[in-house]
Amino acid sequence: MGTAAAGDDTEALATAGWKALGTMVQLIVTEPGQLADGRRLLAADLAAVDAACSRFRPDSELVALDSAPGPVEVSPLLAEALMVALRAARLTDGDVDPTVGGAMAAIGYDRDFPLVPVSGPPLTLTVRSVPGWRQVQFDEPSRLLVLPAGTRLDLGATAKAWAADRSAARLAGALGCGVLVSLGGDIAVAGAAPAGGWRVRVQDMTGRPEDPPVGPSAVVAIREGGLATSSTTARRWRRGGDVLHHILNPRTGLPVPACWRTVSVAAASCVDANTASTAAIIRGSGAPGWLAGLGLPARLVDEAGTVHTVGGWPAESSGT
């Protein structure tokens, strides 16, 4: 944790970084004196989200659903995460589907990613549609959930982004300053932005801003909402001759074929940005038109490294 002021900033920003939810956490505040309190609040928020939503913790509330025989009353926190996930499924016509948990485990992603063996023996990959979000029965007022037998939920496509939104808003209110929360590159901002906005470098893989990017990158500034990037270049592993990654097509239960290596989207919230960026990877060649139709500013990088922008995202020269 430390206080950092970028070279051309006229105001000091304080930043802290650590790991949680199996990913890198970054907190930036516009009032350095608020950093310690902000970190404490954010760490508590993320611990609660992890206990409710982790697919990899045997004691999580989500994992307990796997063996629940009937209607289960879930906690308010998991209820909110579920509603966000189901909304994402509905708004993407099922491209972002929370019932991919079983399919994800079947291709080898069944533990925190650093523990997934980079290579292994061949897998028999079976094309099989996931159970589908439409089979999930959830009653919001009673928070009762019924899952079809054998259905395993994976909230990974939305939970981090939703957690970033939730905590950014809470911290900005509690601290009375501008706040940026990044959970593995899923970025939410709240409160008054610094002069010039929050400067974010979009790239294939989330990393430290002081390190050089790998692959095409661009620096943009946002003042509100969220920004998220999805990519097939991260979380990859090999089984036999097959290279696998973590973005599945729910209609096949298999990793989506390569079209876009990386998609970044800005939206009114981080979870909307992440929902759109993930769906764009799955939609392939239809993604630019879909994003433009929604009015979502987006940057898409194809397999050759050529950059495409839509929705008012600043144009850039390819390969920068």
Partner 1 sequence: MNSRNEEARPAVAARRRGRATLRAATVSVGAAGLVTAGVVAFTLPGATATSSAAAAKASTPITSKATSKAASGSSKATASPTASSSSLEPSSAPSSSSGSAQTTSGAS
**Per the structure block, which two tokens stand in for 240?**
């036999």
Residue number with CB closer to partner 1 (15 or 122): 15
Could you list the beta-strand ranges (E) of 128-177. Answer: 137-139, 144-146
Longest dimension (CA), the chain: 58
Site for partner 1 in 75-134 (CB under 8 A): 75-80, 82-84, 86-87, 90-91, 134
The yes or no reply on residue 177 touching partner 1 (CB under 8 A) is no
Residue number with CB closer to partner 1 (106 or 220): 220
Site for partner 1 in 18-77 (CB under 8 A): 23-24, 26, 28, 44-45, 47-49, 51-52, 59, 61, 64-65, 68-77
- Residues pairing with 156 in the sheet: none
CB of 273 to partner 1, least distance (A): 8
Site for partner 1 in 135-164 (CB under 8 A): 135-144, 146, 148-149, 162
Compute the distance between CA of residue 72 and CA of residue 74 in angstroms, rounded to an integer.
6
Three-state DSSP class for 105? helix
Site string for partner 1, 222-251 (x = CB under 8 A): xxxxxxxxxxxxxx----------------
Q: How many residues touch partner 1 (CB under 8 A)?
A: 117
The yes or no reply on residue 254 touching partner 1 (CB under 8 A) is no
CB 132 within 8 A of CB 241: no
Amino acid at 114: P
**Per the structure block, which two tokens stand in for 280?**
């764009």
The yes or no reply on residue 11 touching partner 1 (CB under 8 A) is no
CB of 54 to partner 1, least distance (A): 10
The yes or no reply on residue 320 touching partner 1 (CB under 8 A) is no
Closest among 185, 232, 236 to 208, alpha carbons compared: 185
Q: How far is CA 263 from the centre of its chain?
A: 12
For the chain, the distance separating the N- and C-terminal CA atoms, rounded to the nearest angstrom, is 31
CB 284 within 8 A of CB 299: no
Residue number with CB closer to partner 1 (23 or 252): 23
Q: Helix H segments across 92-124?
A: 101-106
Instruction: Indicate which single residue of 204, 237, 244, 254 sits in contact with partner 1 (rule: CB under 8 A).
Output: 204
CB of 246 to partner 1, least distance (A): 9
Instruction: Indicate which single residue of 37, 209, 302, 308 sits in contact with partner 1 (rule: CB under 8 A).
Output: 209
- Residues pairing with 307 in the sheet: 301
Instruction: Indicate which single residue of 294, 302, 305, 308 sits in contact with partner 1 (rule: CB under 8 A).
Output: 294
